[in-house]
Amino acid sequence: MLRNLITEYLVSNASVDPALFDQPDLMISDLALDSLTLVEMLFEVEDRFGFQVSDPMQFRTMSFNDMVAAIEQEVRAHHNGEMPDLVLNQAALEGK
């Protein structure tokens, strides 16, 4: 799912402490990401779902949960309201 995709990326590539994601009110600013790392994180989503997220900088002042919800909304908007199956998508990518 989308949330796991993002947290896994941040933990393994941006050295974010996984325990942080247990906080329900976690803010993006608490993750101490620079703007380049933020857009690299979004690329994980963009690469899977095939579109460019509209405004990366809006997330800098959001909570983590709100960011995930906002990204999900964009993904659905690009897929007729559906959430594409990530596992299938991954298989399709690897099959190339």
Partner 1 sequence: MNKVVVTGLGMISPLGADLASSFEAALAAKSAVRQAPADLCAGLPHVLYAPVTVDPAALLGRAHAGLDRAAQLALLAAQEAMHEAQIDEAQPPEDAGRFGVYAGIGFGGAHTVDALYARYFQALHAAEGSGKHATVMHPLSVPRMMANAAAAAISMRYGLRGASNTYSVACASSAVAAGEAFRAIQHGYLDAAIVVGTEAMLTPGSIVAWNALRVMARPDAADPSASCKPFSLNRNGFVLGEGAAAILLESEARAARRGRKPVAELAGYGCSSDAHHLTAPSVEGQVAAMQQALSGAGLRPDQIQYLNAHGTATDAGDVVEAQSIEAVFGAATSRLAVSSTKAVHGHLIGAGGTAELALSIMAMQRGAIPPTAHLTQADPRCALDFVPLQARHGCDIRAVMSNSFAFGGTNACLIARRTDQ
Interface positions with partner 1 (CB under 8 A): 13, 36, 39-40, 42-43, 46-47, 49-52, 78-79
Min dist CB 96 to partner 1, Å, is 8
Of 39 and 70, which CB lies nearer to partner 1 in the complex structure? 39
Min dist CB 51 to partner 1, Å, is 5
* Long-range contacts, 5-11 (Cβ 8 Å, 24+): 5/44, 5/45, 5/48, 5/86, 6/41, 6/44, 6/45, 6/68, 6/71, 9/41, 9/44, 10/41
Determine the Cα–Cα distance for residues 75 and 53; give it in Å rounded to an integer: 9
Of 65 and 76, which CB lies nearer to partner 1 in the complex structure? 76
Of 2 and 43, which CB lies nearer to partner 1 in the complex structure? 43
Min dist CB 90 to partner 1, Å, is 14
Of 40 and 65, which CB lies nearer to partner 1 in the complex structure? 40
Residues whose CB is less than 8 angstroms from the CB of residue 30 and which lie 6 or more positions away in sequence, other chains included: 20, 23, 64
